[in-house]
Every structure is written in C-alpha cells, then in structure tokens.
C-alpha cells in the first residue's frame, strides 16, 4: 500500500490545528524547515522516515498513524474532551493531555509485550498535611498516615 500524500497532509494540518500551533512553531519545534512542512501539509512532498518519526515525537503520537491511510486521528477521540470546557483549555493543557494519553498508550504496549510477572498496581499512600503555628515558618512537611 502506498502512502496517500493528501491524507498525510490532512493529518498533519489537523494535528497542528488541534494544538493551536502555527506551521512556523512546528518547524522550530521539529527542526524541519517551514517550506518542507508546508509541502507535507499540502500533500506535495513525501516525508522521509526520519521526518515522520520527528513529527510523531513532536505531536506525541504513534508514527504508524502517519504512515497508514487511516483517516481518523487518535486525537480526534479526545476532541470532545477539548470542546467540553470551551476555551478554558489552554494550548499547554491540550499538549499535557496529549502527552498523558501518549504515555498511557506506551504503557499499554509495554504491559502487553512484557510477560506477566505478578504485577501489582501502584497504590498512592494517603498523606496528612502537618501544619502548626511554628511550622508556618518552616517548609511544608508531609507525614504518611
């Protein structure tokens, strides 16, 4: 199956727009020249494998999505999440959510690839915040309860 450059270009521009980034910002963030990124988004040029990996790393997503002719982007599954609070989500919020989802995907891949070693889920211990009049002048401390 050959790479459909128009689908790839659409994916690249949709990712950029979803995260409210300009082509110039993506160029600076990836080190890929602006003219080259514009040609990729316009479907006029096929990217190298290195550029696909760099772009996927920049957007915190699986590089395989860009190589497939699949049209639905993983971020489009979170689009509803981005729309719910309206403009309350900043660009930084959107990037943080994307990075979190990417890390969850990575964890799932690793958990499926590694043999089952009687893994126990991580459990956070509850912390009790200690404050008194004397401690207000000292750095905050926490005690495990």
Provide the pLDDT for residue 52: 94
Provide the pLDDT for residue 138: 47
Provide the pLDDT for residue 36: 97
Structural domains in the chain, sorted by start: 5-113 (1.10.260.40)
Q: What is the DSSP string of the chain?
A: ----HHHHHHHHHHHHHHTT--HHHHHHHH---HHHHHHHHTT-SPPPHHHHHHHHHHHTS-HHHHHS---S-GGGGTHHHHHTTGGGS-HHHHHHHHHHHHHHHHHHHHHHHSPP-------PPPEEEE--TGGGGSPPEEEE-
Query: Could you tell me the mean pLDDT of each successive run of 10 residues in the chain, 145 residues long?
Result: 85 88 95 96 94 92 83 62 68 80 79 74 64 48 49
């Amino acid at each position: 199956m050959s790479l459909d450059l128009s689908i790839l270009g659409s994916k690249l521009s949709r990712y950029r727009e979803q995260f409210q980034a300009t082509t110039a910002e993506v160029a600076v963030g990836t080190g890929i020249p602006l003219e080259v990124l514009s040609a990729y988004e316009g479907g006029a040029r096929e990217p190298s494998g290195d550029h696909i990996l760099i772009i996927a790393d920049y957007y915190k997503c699986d590089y395989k999505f860009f190589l497939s002719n699949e049209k639905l982007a993983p971020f489009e599954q979170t689009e509803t999440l981005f729309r719910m609070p309206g403009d309350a989500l900043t660009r930084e919020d959107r990037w943080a959510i994307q990075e979190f989802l990417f890390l969850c995907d990575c964890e799932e891949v690793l958990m499926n690839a590694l043999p089952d070693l009687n893994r126990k889920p991580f459990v956070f211990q509850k912390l009790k915040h200690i404050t008194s009049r004397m401690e207000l002048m000292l750095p905050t401390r926490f005690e495990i309860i």
